[in-house]
Amino acid sequence: MAQRDPHMTSRGPAAPALKGGGWHRLGNALKTTVLLAGLTALVLVIGQRLGGAQGLAMAGLFAVVMNFGSYWFSDRIALAIHGARPLPYEQAPWLHEMVERLAARAGMPKPKVYLLPTAQPNAFATGRNPSHAAVAVTAGIVDILDRRELEGVLAHEIGHVRNRDTLIGTVAATLAGIISYAAQMLFWFGGSMLSRGDDEEGGGLAGALSNLGLLLVAPIAATLLQLAVSRSREYGADATGAELCGDPDALASALLKMERGAEAIPYDRAPATSHLFIVNPLHHGGVMSLFSTHPPIPERVRRLREMSARMGQGTRSRGGWEYAY
């Protein structure tokens, strides 16, 4: 017989007292503002160097339009890119109920549930806010994870939604993409665009070299900014997810299994969205791992194990949660 969930109230699951509070949310909002301001500034500077005042105005307009589109359509775009389809309740009622329980504990509506047609074990969340969110799991994830581990993965993704990471990740990727596109455009069109404005102002070779340096550094800076926010938010979602499901060890075990699955079954569809997944679907080794959008799995597991020890859990403890599957 299933034990009564101590986190349940007469009105249903109670939202857990997650760590952080107002100051934590304020800190996240500040980091987000700095990130987006930095990326937008890079877009504007490149636009100004390319076309003066007119280029600045066009770059600003382009950034606004792209961010507006990302805000309203990010979930549909991400799901369509990966060929995700809605997962009917009748096909996996236990999974839908698991998502609903975790969402209730997080104090948010139940996200829509989607299925990705790939054998690689993975998952991601998308949407502009908790009221317009979706959680997608791959077909391969249920083949290697038990339900305890899968609950940890779903809790991680709901943690992303609760922490408002999904929208920021999409907008940051959009701005970084604009910067990379500008650099590629200048590469193909040659050096005339680099030196034209500075020749008119008397800058000559020095101005052209300055522009060239900017266009080489800007994409790298954009990538580093994106990596910084992406990695920190993965750690945050791990912690939030572990608290939601009450079982850090389950999430740690799932991460290790999914990492091995990602190595064995590559999935390189839409690499620009790789940061959305719980485990990087693009396997990178050696030096390239330094530029991964995800923090190292061993470090994530170490933090979760430490969290488990602080919670006083045993390896297989459910943290007070028991379900009859």
Work out the pLDDT band at 2, boundaries 50, 70, 90. Answer: very low
Q: What is the mean pLDDT of the chain?
A: 78
CA 91 to chain centre: 27
Q: Is 156 annotated among the ligand-binding residues? A: yes
pLDDT in tens, 269-294: 777 778 889 999 986 655 455 556 78
Distance from C-alpha of 167 to C-alpha of 314, rounded to nearest angstrom: 36
Name the DSSP letter for residue 272. Answer: G
- CA distances from residue 315 to 70, 267, 300, 306 in whole angstroms, order as listed: 41, 31, 16, 12
Mean pLDDT (whole number) for 309-313: 79
Mean pLDDT (whole number) for 4-25: 48
Name the DSSP letter for residue 110. Answer: P
SS3 content of the chain, % helix, strand, coil (to 5): 65, 10, 25
**Confidence (pLDDT) at 7:** 42
pTM metric for this prediction: 0.76
Query: Any idea which of 74-78, 104-108, 183-187 has the lowest mean pLDDT?
Result: 183-187
Domain boundaries, the chain: 19-310
Sign of CA dihedral 158, 161, 163, 167: positive
Question: How, if at all, do strands 112-116 and 85-86 pair?
Answer: antiparallel
Query: How many residues are present in the chain?
Result: 325
Work out the pLDDT band at 186, boundaries 50, 70, 90. Answer: low
Work out the pLDDT band at 9, boundaries 50, 70, 90. Answer: very low
**Confidence (pLDDT) at 250:** 97
Q: Residue holding tokens 């979602």?
A: 237
Q: Is 234 annotated among the ligand-binding residues? A: yes
In the annotation, is 157 catalytic? yes
Q: Is 201 annotated among the ligand-binding residues? A: no
Q: Percentage of residues in the chain with pLDDT exceeding 90?
A: 40
Determine how many CB atoms are found less than 10 A away from the CB of residue 122.
Answer: 26
Residue of 108 and 213 predicted with greater confidence: 108
Catalytic residue among 90, 100, 151, 157: 157
pLDDT in tens, 189-235: 545 455 554 555 445 566 566 666 666 776 677 667 667 667 778 99
Give which of 281, 50, 4, 305 is closest to 185, Cα–Cα. Answer: 50
Q: Percentage of residues in the chain with pLDDT exceeding 70?
A: 66
Distance from C-alpha of 67 to C-alpha of 117, rounded to nearest angstrom: 29
Query: Any idea which of 36-50, 104-118, 158-172 has the lowest mean pLDDT?
Result: 36-50
